[in-house]
Structure 1
C-alpha cells in the first residue's frame, strides 16, 4: 500500500521540514534554500567523430537563501565587512528531514560568499521577503539518505 512503481511516494521529502544554519545559528525565518554545482567543461577536439567531446575542468557553486523579512540579520552579517572592503565568508548547513521519509540529509556549504545585500524592498499589502544569492567554494554531505530505503 502506498507504493507506485519503484519507490514509495510517501518517502518524498516535503520542504516544510527543512532547516538552515549560518555559522551554527539556526535561521528560523528561512523559507527556502537552493544550492547547485555547475560543472565546467572544455571542448576536446577529436577526429573520427561527429559529436563534440568534453573534459571536466572544475565546478562553480552558487545558490540562493530565501527568508521572511523579520530582522536585519543579513545586513548585520554582511554590511560592515562590505563597507570596509572585506568579504563575509561563512558556512551554511542545510538540514532536510521528513517524518514520512524517516531519513535526514544534511549538506554543509563551505566558503559561502554573498553576492548582494538588499537594503530596502517593501510594498503595502505584501509580506516582506529577502532572497540572498551566494557562491560557495566547497561542500560536504554530513548525513545522507540511503536510496535502498525508498
Structure 2
C-alpha cells in the first residue's frame, strides 16, 4: 500500500462558494452534509436491530465576513409584508488546491436559508456573517479521481 503524500492533502484555503454562479468572496468557510434518516426494525428470531432508510436531510452553513447586504436582500422575501415566502437558490462549493490531485465541485440544489442575519457587530472586530441552510438535492460536478485505484 502506498504511503500518503502529504502534499496532496487538500488545504481549505483554496475553497470557494458560489451562489447562482457568482463567487461569494466574503465567505471563507462552508459545510454541507446529508443526514440519512432511518427507522429501526426489530424482527422476531433475530438479535440484530435492522435499519430501513426512510429519508434524507441536507443541512449546511456558510460563514465569513459582512461586506455587503447581499445575503440579507437575498432572503428579504421571507419577511416581506410579514408573509412566509420561500426563496430558493443554488450553492456550488469548490475545493481546490494547486498541490492536490485535482479539484472538487459540489452543487447544492433548492437551498433555503434558515434565518436573516440583520445585525452582528462588536466594536474593534470585523463583522462576521454566518448563515445556516437546508438543501433538497446535491450533485457532484467535478469529483477528485481516486489515484489509489488499481494499484494492487
* TM-score (normalised: structure 1): 0.91
More strand by share: 1
- 8 Å CA contact retained: 1:45, 1:52: yes
Alignment RMSD (CA, Å): 1.7
CA contact (8 A) 2:77 2:86 kept: no
Deviation of 1:80 (Å): 3.1
Q: Does 1:52 align with 2:49?
A: yes
Runs of 5+ unmatched residues, structure 2: none
Within the candidate set 2, 6, 27, 2:3 is matched to 6
Deviation at residue 97 of structure 1 after TM alignment? 0.8
CA distance in 2, matches of 1:147, 1:82: 45
Partner of 2:25: 28
Contact persistence 1:82–1:88 (CA under 8 A): no
Q: Secondary structure, in 3 states, of the residue corresponding to 2:67? A: coil
Deviations 1:94-148 (A, max 9, x none): 0111011040100000000010011111111221111100000000000011122
SS in 2 for 1:101: coil
In structure 1, the partner of 2:71 is 74
Q: Contact 2:42/2:48 (CA < 8 Å) preserved in 1?
A: no
* Aligned equivalent of 2:99: 100
CA–CA separation in structure 2 for the residues paired with 1:65 and 1:79: 18
Which aligned pairs between 1:100-119 and structure 2 lie closer than 5 A?
100-119=99-118
Give me the whole-angstrom Cα distance separating, in 2, the residues matched to 1:82 and 1:134.
16
Residues 14 and 97, structure 2, Cα contact 8 Å, conserved in 1? yes
Task: Write out the 4+ residue segments of structure 1 that deviate beyond 4 Å after TM superposition.
Answer: none
Distance apart, 1:67 and its partner CA: 1.9
Aligned residue for 2:68, secondary structure, equals coil
Q: Which runs of 5+ in 1 are unaligned?
A: none
